[in-house]
Structure 1
Amino acid sequence: MTITPETDPFCTPEQLRGHVAALLDRSRTRSTGLTDAVDEGDLVAQHSPLMSPLVWDLAHIGSQEELWLVRDVGGREPLRPEIDGLYDAFQHSRASRIELPLLTPAEARQYVAEVREKALDALERSPLRGRRLEHEGFAFGMIVQHEQQHDETMLATHQLRAGAPVLQAPEPPPGRRLAAREVLVPAGVSIQGTSTEPWALDNERPAHAVSLPAFWIDTHPVTNGEYVAFVEAGGYTDPRWWSAEGWRHRTAEGLVAPRFWERDSAGEWWRRRFGVVERVPADEPVVHVCFHEAAAYARWAGKRLPTEAEWEKAARFDPATGRSRRYPWGDESPAERHANLGQRHLRPAPVGAYPEGASPLGVEQLIGDVWEWCDSGWHPYPGFEAFPYREYSEVFFGGDYKVLRGGSFGTDPSAVRATFRNWDHPVRRQIFSGFRCARDASPADTADRADAAGLP
């Protein structure tokens, strides 16, 4: 197994530098591919008021890297202090960034290259020990994750972009039929969050015990085929399945199906995916649904969405040992056999495509494919401490945000783990979001489980 700060927090500084440099290079290769794939007009255009121009994302990646790695860790003078405000996400809404005097594509590319050169110099000179920001390479890991998060945002912008396809990727592996549609998660105490993951972000900390009653959870995300049944049964026209807030949103926006879906004159559903128009594949997890749509489907199906704590227990808890794993499959960092991550494929994989990624309880595809909506608000864990700045997590706590878990096909392995927490407004559909269902367990369910296990 490759030695990394995740698998061995006590690896040598030289090993850690090599690992960090490789991750920085991987993230930049991806950023370059996403921006070089289109012409200058597409780079500076705003493809949706929900998204920034691609050229803003590129320069923002460089700006954050400069602030933390060049100025703070490296102790160097600012390269271009006059542009700090342009790329401060809190000063300008996404819809307004098109009006700013942004760097041109050529200037942005030159800027991020200059920043990277100095960041690598800072990496060579940092002890990667001692000071909290630098200890075990945290600042570098934070910037790797930040760039990969913006790469996923840029990938979502590509999906919103009109025009011919410009991105290519091989098809995901084939799926398989799972033995069960849902599994019972036993009642009891489990650990949520982490206090030991070196590059975990502040909202994932600290680890704390959570006691949950037994519940059932789906072994795989809800598929397109299953979701079509909800649509065809009139799910979008029946307020019984929707919350009051969800029904208002559905009505106001005229929602009739997941985003990017259209029905032809023969009644068949099609979707647009990165410029390709194709039949909606029945065996893939449904994607581009908002929280309200997910919750409505779950009620229609006689179930509900899992809470965040339930999702994490299903993903991490090992009943044989009583411990919580780093990932559903164990403590090993994600490999290609485990999950659909890193833009390796430009779509969710069919259900059952990753048997080696299953949790001990038999729950699959918890990591990758689609971000999964949870029926939990965005709140800090007990003992939360903002680090290294309030604007990453703390300022977003509360409000109407809902939690998403697990990552998508567009999430890089460095930017997701079983403790990783994402959040967004419940109306968002441009993100690569899907869901799976859960339901309460009855006393009879738990009694049957005990009988099957030969327990008193």
Structure 2
Amino acid sequence: MTVETERLRSAVAVELDRARRRTTTLTEAVDDDDLVRQHSRLMSPLVWDLAHVGNQEELWLVRDVGGREPVRRDIDELYDAFQHARADRPALPLLNPAEARAYVATVRDKALDVLDAVRLDGRPLVTGGFAFGMIVQHEQQHDETMLATHQLRTGPPVLHAEPPPPARVPATGEVFIPGGPFTMGTDTEPWALDNERPAHVVDVPAFHLDVAPVTNARYAEFIDAGGYDDARWWSEAGWAHRQRAGLGAPLHWRRDGDRWVYTRFGRTVPVAPDEPVVHVCFHEAQAFAAWAGRRLPTEAEWEKAARFDPATGRSRRYPWGDEDAQERHANLGQRHLSPAPVGAYPDGASPHGVQQLIGDVWEWTSTDFHGYPGFRAFPYREYSEVFFSPEYKVLRGGSFGTDRAACRGTFRNWDYPIRRQIFAGFRCARDAEPGES
């Protein structure tokens, strides 16, 4: 057994533990009645998410990788996300909070036994610890989903965190991104998921991109200008949804006299003008961009701005380079319970000076979710392939609720264009003028 293999085992164990500690924080912050309650029909009860992460860990690490006997085969169907819509899950005979906690603890003990014994090479599922990394990311993704559920619950605050850092540098205007080819996606990131693969060359025409995400102050200008009442700025589908849903401001905003306030994790405070706007759907983002005389970036434009280094001609792992995300780079991992003001993370800027591409808010792009050329589903079609459709739009960059293990320059998220409960915002782009270089 090599030193490198032992380091990998230790790193995997640390990441599994880090994800579980976050899950524990999110589920023990509320009482059992809150755990089993459905706070929104868009979300599962927290206790479903808790047992679901354990069930996925059992399926992949205990049974598949480890070849061990099932812990609870009888509950597989209850925690299969494709079998039951979120709205229907409260009516299922779910494990109660005590049973769910005992179940995930038993599964984790067995998964760690597997980690100690299994070879981390040979078949693709275990090479580089892939299956363990997939489970880490899965749990962290559900932790972000549970954080969104916390945002939708009513009652006094139960989550606490330090405020994000203040702005350190100006972050206004736009930058010019020259046209040309770059490598999109990855063949080398060991825990990259199937929809991030394979690496392929994309030729992107020159464009301009906002230095920072659109702020609350700028978005309020759109509202004050009657943007929600003017069909000119909305697509046909967007206008129909705006009317049907009665949209008039980002989710959780409301008027308080002559100012906007929002309720965030049980606390109602004035809207911070310099924070990225969050809880807007794709249609709202697209309408704002049209009103501003701009557009949303394509997914390829976003990734080129985030990864391409013109000095070397190669694509980085992150905007700041190949180093793993540190606190100075980005607002990730529920370290704070809000986006940071624009200009708060200059150390995370891209080579072209684009800021906060990672963390703070997921950023809507104009691209439909699809597979890259040469895509191959791995290790199962239901992770990505079954969602490839114009019904879903791609989001990039992660949010303040996204963990660093589930966020990198190639990571792709997707959702329906009407979704607002997710921690999503946007930035704008525009085409370069003819002859501009």
TM interval, short-chain normalised: over 0.9
**Residue of structure 1 in register with 2:341 after alignment:** 350
Counterpart check, 1:131 vs 2:132: no
Q: Give the C-alpha shift of residue 444 in structure 1.
A: 4.2
Choose from 59, 67, 73 the match for 1:67.
Answer: 59
**Residue of structure 2 in register with 1:450 after alignment:** none
Normalising to structure 1: TM-score of the pair? 0.95
**Residue of structure 2 in register with 1:252 after alignment:** 244
Further displaced range: 132-141 or 392-401: 392-401
Letter in 2 for 1:403: V
Residues 175 and 354 in structure 2, CA contact (< 8 A), matched pair in contact too = yes
Choose from 7, 17, 30 the match for 2:9.
Answer: 17
Residues 399 and 424 in structure 2, CA contact (< 8 A), matched pair in contact too = yes
**Residue of structure 1 in register with 2:105 after alignment:** 113
Q: Give the C-alpha shift of residue 179 in structure 1.
A: 6.1
1:70 and 1:90 map into 2 onto residues whose CA distance is 21
**Residue of structure 1 in register with 2:210 after alignment:** 218
**Residue of structure 2 in register with 1:7 after alignment:** none
Choose from 260, 263, 281 the match for 1:269.
Answer: 260
1:181 and 1:116 map into 2 onto residues whose CA distance is 48
**Residue of structure 1 in register with 2:195 after alignment:** 203
**Residue of structure 2 in register with 1:49 after alignment:** 41
Is the alpha carbon distance of 1:176 and 1:301 closer, same or farther for their aligned partners in structure 2, counting shifts above 3 Å? farther
2:171 and 2:155 map into 1 onto residues whose CA distance is 41
Letter in 2 for 1:418: G
1:114 and 1:378 map into 2 onto residues whose CA distance is 37
Q: Give the C-alpha shift of residue 176 in structure 1.
A: 3.5
**Residue of structure 2 in register with 1:98 after alignment:** 90
**Residue of structure 1 in register with 2:176 after alignment:** 184
Choose from 131, 142, 151 the match for 1:159.
Answer: 151
- The one-character-per-residue Cα deviations of 1:216-257 (angstroms, maximum 9, x if unpaired) are 000100000000000000000000100000000000111000
Q: How does 1:318-357 map to 2 (within 5 A)?
A: 318-357=309-348
**Residue of structure 1 in register with 2:394 after alignment:** 403
1:229 and 1:393 map into 2 onto residues whose CA distance is 37
Counterpart check, 1:282 vs 2:273: yes
**Residue of structure 1 in register with 2:384 after alignment:** 393
Residues 171 and 355 in structure 2, CA contact (< 8 A), matched pair in contact too = no
Which structure 1 segments of 5+ residues have no match?
A: 1-9, 447-456
Q: Give the C-alpha shift of residue 369 in structure 1.
A: 0.2
Letter in 2 for 1:259: L
What SS is found at the alignment partner of 1:443?
coil
1:187 and 1:318 map into 2 onto residues whose CA distance is 13
Q: Give the C-alpha shift of residue 403 in structure 1.
A: 0.3
Further displaced range: 51-60 or 393-402: 393-402
Q: Give the C-alpha shift of residue 131 in structure 1.
A: 1.1
Q: Give the C-alpha shift of residue 126 in structure 1.
A: 1.2
Counterpart check, 1:33 vs 2:30: no
Residues 169 and 344 in structure 2, CA contact (< 8 A), matched pair in contact too = no
What SS is found at the alignment partner of 2:389?
coil
Counterpart check, 1:296 vs 2:287: yes
2:405 and 2:171 map into 1 onto residues whose CA distance is 31
1:341 and 1:425 map into 2 onto residues whose CA distance is 23
What SS is found at the alignment partner of 1:236?
helix
Residues 171 and 212 in structure 2, CA contact (< 8 A), matched pair in contact too = no
Q: Give the C-alpha shift of residue 399 in structure 1.
A: 3.8
Residues 54 and 103 in structure 2, CA contact (< 8 A), matched pair in contact too = yes
Aligned residue pairs: how many?
Answer: 436
Counterpart check, 1:378 vs 2:333: no
2:142 and 2:382 map into 1 onto residues whose CA distance is 16
What SS is found at the alignment partner of 2:229?
coil
Choose from 138, 144, 161 the match for 2:136.
Answer: 144
1:408 and 1:20 map into 2 onto residues whose CA distance is 23
- The one-character-per-residue Cα deviations of 1:137-169 (angstroms, maximum 9, x if unpaired) are 000000000000000000000000000000000
Q: Give the C-alpha shift of residue 129 in structure 1.
A: 1.0
Is the alpha carbon distance of 1:150 and 1:11 closer, same or farther for their aligned partners in structure 2, counting shifts above 3 Å? farther
Is the alpha carbon distance of 1:262 and 1:179 closer, same or farther for their aligned partners in structure 2, counting shifts above 3 Å? closer
- The one-character-per-residue Cα deviations of 1:327-366 (angstroms, maximum 9, x if unpaired) are 0000000000000000000000000000000000000000
2:28 and 2:3 map into 1 onto residues whose CA distance is 36
1:342 and 1:282 map into 2 onto residues whose CA distance is 23
What SS is found at the alignment partner of 2:44?
coil
**Residue of structure 1 in register with 2:412 after alignment:** 421
Counterpart check, 1:438 vs 2:435: no
2:171 and 2:143 map into 1 onto residues whose CA distance is 36
Choose from 63, 72, 82 the match for 1:80.
Answer: 72
**Residue of structure 2 in register with 1:4 after alignment:** none
% identity of equivalent residues: 70
1:57 and 1:249 map into 2 onto residues whose CA distance is 29
Runs of 4+ in 1 over 2 A off after TM superposition: 176-180
**Residue of structure 2 in register with 1:6 after alignment:** none
Q: Give the C-alpha shift of residue 130 in structure 1.
A: 1.2
Residues 320 and 348 in structure 2, CA contact (< 8 A), matched pair in contact too = yes
Q: Output the aligned Cα RMSD.
A: 0.9
Counterpart check, 1:169 vs 2:140: no
1:292 and 1:267 map into 2 onto residues whose CA distance is 26
What SS is found at the alignment partner of 2:217?
helix
